[in-house]
Structure 1
């Protein structure tokens, strides 16, 4: 795909958008013959205004038509590469809600179909199928934005806004995994505004959790701590009535995220307090559940005990907590959570100098959910550390994983 002529690039993106030449021509206001000549290189594209029109119809950044094509490595097929990032960015840069203020949205998917698509996207994320999710997200974002605009003044307005808020959160989480922290923050921030229109405090609370995660990834640790704790306090169960399960789940996840931020600045006392509060919420919940796609419960609290210990630099405590964890509860967790934990424990083992066990944890995570290990910049850093500190030739499985991830041995 390197250095393709612009006509071939147009044909490539038209194919990815699943548009026929006739449909593409109609949307451009050109003839099918004109499109065919452009794609074959018979007709030159010498007007920038036309190139920008093409980029708008194809919903890609114009630089992808004019610049060098991103190389797509075979081992990255299950990750989110720069092509997908640019497509997601283009979808986030759309302002269909403002356009709908002036004229009706021409097309909007039925809300029942949108609900199924959003649920499928959540499950795809929680099974760490990041490549599959990345290829679906741009269209899902555009469809959710269109649905939100189309139903803005109808009885379904809150339902459409709720779905869009969820899609923004899925995008935020996926982008953060692959190091696109600014875009992750943008998507999470969008979700907060949309969640308010949806009239759902728990969705807004979960959007705040995503904002906190993005801020933490950006190194904005204290703002991350503040947003998590402040919103958790507003959602804290009060009164004699038994709190609802979904409320406990969102509240507990905010506390856990706050604990991660506190650990990043070395505030062990706040970490203990927040973990204690989350633990109490998990006991009231009575088990591990996936309300509001949180995977919250006693097991997730244990995972965060390990993760916060690693952030505090106490690898020994993290490993001890890992070894004493309820195995049945852990095995019941979704793949993304378990593989994420193996990455945390790999870091813990490197902190106590056991690079052999650290490598084994990376391999366990890779067997369970390859994308969680191979797609995350943090995993690349940990693997590099393991290789650097391994005496002699690294074990064959580690060397193979390093080669597949493009990490130098």
Structure 2
């Protein structure tokens, strides 16, 4: 590796760290990269490995491609990993022999994958999930009867993490296969609340096919089948389904049904003092984020509704990064439609700061960045730079 390239990468990491007002010790602690290694990287005497680069980028909340000149784009790195995910699920019913970690270690590994999903760290997921899926399939085939439901529930959650990568990066057939496997495994998990979560995720198949009316019907059936909202967890499970149904109804251009489901979700959120996570986050903040999503999906006369929500509420740090960045991406679209081009660009930049991988992979963000660049062709180079980063040029 040429010395000047190592120096440039080190300088870029150091500049990004200082922009985040972090000391070397703080970045070392946040990324789990040793302080001595970090110092050598910033000095330009060591070049970061892929894992080290990903760890630093995650701690700095930026895309790895921003730190490394000439490095592959996020989407290229993820797409390169998709065949390994396909291979892992091809033998789900007859996995190769191999080691299986104790159940508590498998649970920790799945929790790590879920954390990456909520933080929109798709590279991390794509690099680690194939082996984890294979190991979990092996564990399910060898588990004693008393542990099979637990292993099946872990497998469902791991499938969902893999699906997040497949769906976000346009591998629709792979996403559909993963959802089918989730639906099969959740039966063995014997967990009605997890089953509600799977019904939520299944909607992706209908989104991809633009089959919104069948998707709405499937969600309403899942709502009817979900446990009564007698506990916070059951309330969150049913409320999440109503949120999703509101979005699907809005995509089907049915504002009355969308409003009905959103009112149901709002009422249920009042029984949950703060957002809780049960496969998906649900609570007052998540409902507010979905109100913007519904308004933008309906478009036309509903755009002002999105702007009104955003004028009174902003997603707090406690919401998953993917949901927070999604809020700002959808807000940017509403602002653009309302003629607020500068505000739209600011919202897209906020979305990038929160979850760069999610933002760069989002179709609406790319489309709106391209529109902004056309509208403000003579504007500052920051807009052009953003458009180049997101692939809108």
TM-score of the superposed pair, with normalisation by structure 1: 0.75
Alignment: residue pair count = 323
In 2, distance between residues paired with 1:380 and 1:87? 27
TM-superposed deviation, 1:322: 1.2
Structure 1 residues 74 and 394: CA distance shift in structure 2, 3 A: farther
State the match for 1:324 in structure 2.
312
In 2, distance between residues paired with 1:279 and 1:200? 25
Structure 1 residues 407 and 115: CA distance shift in structure 2, 3 A: same
| Equivalent in 248, 253, 256 of residue 261 of structure 1 | 248
State the match for 1:177 in structure 2.
168
| Equivalent in 121, 125, 150 of residue 142 of structure 2 | 150
User: Is 1:121 paired with 2:108?
Assistant: no
Q: Which structure 2 residue ranges, 5 or more long, are not aligned? A: 1-68
Q: CA RMSD in A?
A: 2.0
State the match for 1:403 in structure 2.
388
| Native 8 Å contact 1:124 1:132 kept in 2 | yes
In 2, distance between residues paired with 1:346 and 1:80? 27
| Native 8 Å contact 2:78 2:122 kept in 1 | no
| Native 8 Å contact 1:165 1:195 kept in 2 | yes
1:260-315 per-residue CA deviation (whole Å, 9 max, x = no partner) reads: 1100111000011100111111111222122x242210010010000000000032
State the match for 1:235 in structure 2.
226
Over alpha carbons, which structure has the higher Rg?
A: 1
| Equivalent in 191, 198, 222 of residue 200 of structure 1 | 191
The DSSP-based 3-state class of the residue aligned with 1:155 is helix
Task: Write the mapping of 1:46-125 to structure 2, written as runs, cut at 5 A.
Answer: 74=71, 76-77=73-74, 81-95=78-92, 97-98=93-94, 105-125=97-117
In 1, distance between residues paired with 2:364 and 2:136? 31
TM-superposed deviation, 1:98: 4.0
TM-superposed deviation, 1:73: 6.7
In 1, distance between residues paired with 2:211 and 2:171? 15
User: Is 1:367 paired with 2:353?
Assistant: yes
In 1, distance between residues paired with 2:165 and 2:70? 19
The DSSP-based 3-state class of the residue aligned with 2:146 is coil
State the match for 2:379 in structure 1.
394
Q: Which structure 1 residue ranges, 5 or more long, are not aligned? A: 1-71
| Native 8 Å contact 1:191 1:204 kept in 2 | no
The DSSP-based 3-state class of the residue aligned with 1:306 is helix
